[in-house]
Amino acid sequence: MAEIRPFRAYRPKKGLEQRIAALPYDVYNREEAKAEVKKEPLSFLAVDRAETQFDDSVDVYADCVYEKAREMLWKRIEEGSFEQEETPVYYIYELVMDGRAQTGITACASVDDYLNQVIKKHENTRADKEADRIRHVDICDAQTGPIFLAYRSQPVINAIVAQYKAGEPLYDFISPDGIAHRVWKIDGPEDVDAVHRAFSEVGEIYIADGHHRCASAVKVSEKRRQERPGYTGEEEFNFFLSVLFPDDQLMIMDYNRVVKDLNDLTKEEFIGKIRESFQIEELQTGADGRPDKKGTFGMYLDGSWYRLTAKENILSKDPVKGLDVSVLQDYLLEPVLGIKDPKTDKRIDFVGGIRGMKELERRVSEDCRIAFAMYPTSIGELFAVADAGLLMPPKSTWFEPKLRSGLFIHSLR
């Protein structure tokens, strides 16, 4: 069963939270990160992406970059930009986007639960991306970006969350992208114990977003265990910073595809080939191409939207093969457009659903030939894939809103 612990977080001094809170490190390229930090010097992005403190001649992965991150983090703590809780607590973290709220618990999850597959993954990680965050966590001696976890809703936890949310929040601000952020502290000893007991009865927890951050935290823990053969399991490096959301709070957005060309096919040849597996309907001018149910796809080609409906004979009850992203890949992208590996093929690109259908139309008008709008993968499908010990195809899920870095820091000291 899951071990989800309260912890003594470092968190922004009251009044600085809006200036410090930052989007995850991996949503920016180097130029964008530098611009953000220049605009707001207190942004935690300066710590998460410390190359912003150097000119572009310095390699992003140079030793001095990680040392700078450590220096800045602990200097900010020493100078009073952050304060630490006196006792271990849980936090309630609510994000509101477009009027829709999702509320999770900020805590520390167990490395052993990850290793024993109580905490389950649904995608593989890349060693190069892991290596960067391993060094960042290890050298900074802290975890700065929370892992986005999901679990099946628990009435006891829900009741305690509702009780605390009726009170005054610790933080309450709107970030520049319009997302509202509110934080409450669960600090009553009986309530802390009740939340801990309730999580101990949860059999499965799932990584929704942050697979690389999670894998990196685990690798740092394994490294420190080797360095300290007498470790007890209670050390902070045995746990990693997380925000855990009940499944009924979450919404997965569509993760759409754009392709550069028709694989040397004419439009007529292409349409003919996909009719073998899909029913095709051209939509009226001005119609929204967004699909409204599983097994359907929007397709934008030559200025028109089409609805593709998968024929019954290509549908599957297999947790992975039955995903819409798999159906599109297995029966259209690979056999018709020749895209065998979407992770490496330069002819395909991926567009998060937050950008909408107009972004797909723009891409087709500028640098692509065709776009596919996906029906979102459900949280139930994500759970089913992870429970089966399987992996989702690349770019299957897009979560919004993004958790902010810098609101909670888990020290490994």
Range list for CATH 3.30.1760 in the chain: 255-375
Are 207 and 148 contacting, i.e. CB atoms less than 8 angstroms apart? yes
Give the pLDDT score at 126. 74
Report residue 130's pLDDT band, with 50, 70 and 90 as the boundaries. confident
What's the predicted TM-score (pTM) here? Answer: 0.90
27: pLDDT strictly greater than 90: no
Distance, CA of 297 to CA of 299 (rounded, Å): 6
Out of 3.30.70, 3.40.50, 3.30.1760, 1.10.3470, select the CATH number for domain 255-375.
Answer: 3.30.1760
C-beta contacts of 264-267 below 8 A and 24+ residues apart: 265/336, 267/301, 267/302
CA distance 125 to 329: 20
Tens digit of pLDDT for each residue in 325-380? Answer: 999 999 999 999 999 999 889 999 999 998 999 999 999 999 999 999 999 999 99
Q: Return mean pLDDT, the chain.
A: 95
In tens, the pLDDT along 164-184 reads 999 999 999 999 999 999 999
* pLDDT tens track for 103-120: 999 999 999 999 999 999
Q: Are the beta carbons of 165 and 103 closer than 8 angstroms?
A: yes
More confident of the two residues 343 and 79: 79
pLDDT tens for 58-68 read 999 999 999 99
What does the alpha-carbon distance between residue 359 and residue 164 come to, in Å, rounded to a whole number? 40
Confidence band of 288 (pLDDT split at 50, 70, 90): confident
pLDDT band of residue 287 (cuts 50, 70, 90) is: confident
Mean of the pLDDT values across residues 381-395?
92
Checking if the pLDDT of 392 tops 80, the result is: yes
Work out the pLDDT band at 127, boundaries 50, 70, 90: confident
**Cα separation, 39 vs 56, whole angstroms:** 18
Cα separation, 253 vs 359, whole angstroms: 15
pLDDT at 300: 97
Q: Tell me how long the chain is.
A: 413
